[in-house]
């Protein structure tokens, strides 16, 4: 499945893997940021279809990470009946794919027959790899890292706000001790990326991505 097919069939892909609405919206917002950047880019260093496809798929495996112990996060999941359904989805995903969300995402993408390029971008844009992304000449990679690091649970956030929120929810992750350095590289990636984009960081927000959230073949 090439990147264009992913984009045009994303709702069917989400249905296949039983991806809940709030997680769909996180990925769609990240993809919309990637699209917004591409449409305002002043050179041709970015493959729009690839970066959008990566963002639409990058957190599929989060179905095994749902946290039902935090009441604030539970508000994302809806009513008690919705939470029970999500618990069932999580259990079935763990049984089929395992408990590591990154490995689960990879297995799901392999099922779809995703291209090697998209698989590379998927595995190389993570926050923990910000130093390498910053040093890279691969602007597809920078877009993926940046778009992912601008979207919180409920919408688009400023880079600092988004990363501070992430660390508050993920302090047990192995990159916790190096978080401040990774934030510095995140800011550098933002500067590198927006240098040739006709947008400021503040102009990338929920309002500006609204028109890019429809990924069916007529509007993508």
- Residue-level pLDDT at 163: 82
Average pLDDT estimate for 17-22 = 91
pLDDT at 49 > cutoff 80: yes
- Residue-level pLDDT at 187: 95
pLDDT at 199 > cutoff 90: yes
Q: Could you tell me which residue, 53 or 175, shows the higher pLDDT?
A: 53
- Residue-level pLDDT at 76: 56
Of 202, 190, 151, 208, the residue nearest 36 (C-alpha): 208
Average pLDDT estimate for 52-68 = 91
The pTM score is: 0.89
pLDDT at 142 > cutoff 90: yes
Q: What digits encode the pLDDT tens for the residues 87-135?
A: 899 999 999 999 999 999 999 999 999 999 999 999 999 888 999 999 9
Domain range annotation of the chain: 3-212
pLDDT at 72 > cutoff 60: no
- Residue-level pLDDT at 180: 84
pLDDT at 171 > cutoff 70: no
């Amino acid at each position: 499945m090439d990147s264009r097919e992913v984009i045009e069939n994303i709702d069917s892909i989400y249905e296949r893997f039983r991806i809940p609405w709030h997680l769909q919206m996180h990925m769609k917002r990240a993809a919309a940021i990637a699209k917004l950047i591409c449409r305002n880019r002043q050179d041709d260093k970015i493959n729009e279809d690839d970066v959008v496809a990566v963002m639409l798929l990058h957190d599929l495996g989060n179905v095994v990470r749902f946290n039902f112990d935090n009441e604030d996060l539970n508000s994302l999941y809806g009513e008690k009946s919705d939470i029970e359904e999500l618990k069932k989805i999580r259990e079935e995903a763990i049984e089929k794919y395992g408990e590591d969300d990154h490995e689960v995402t990879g297995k799901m993408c392999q099922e779809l027959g995703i291209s090697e390029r998209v698989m590379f971008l998927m595995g190389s844009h993570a926050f923990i790899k910000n130093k390498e992304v910053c040093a890279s000449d691969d602007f597809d990679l920078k877009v993926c890292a940046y778009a992912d690091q601008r979207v919180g649970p409920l919408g688009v956030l400023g880079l600092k706000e988004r990363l501070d929120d992430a660390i508050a929810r993920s302090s047990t992750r192995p990159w916790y001790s190096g978080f401040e350095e990774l934030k510095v590289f995140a800011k550098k990636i933002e500067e590198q990326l927006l240098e040739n984009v006709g947008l400021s960081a503040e102009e990338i927000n929920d309002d500006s991505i609204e028109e890019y959230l429809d990924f069916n073949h007529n509007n993508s």
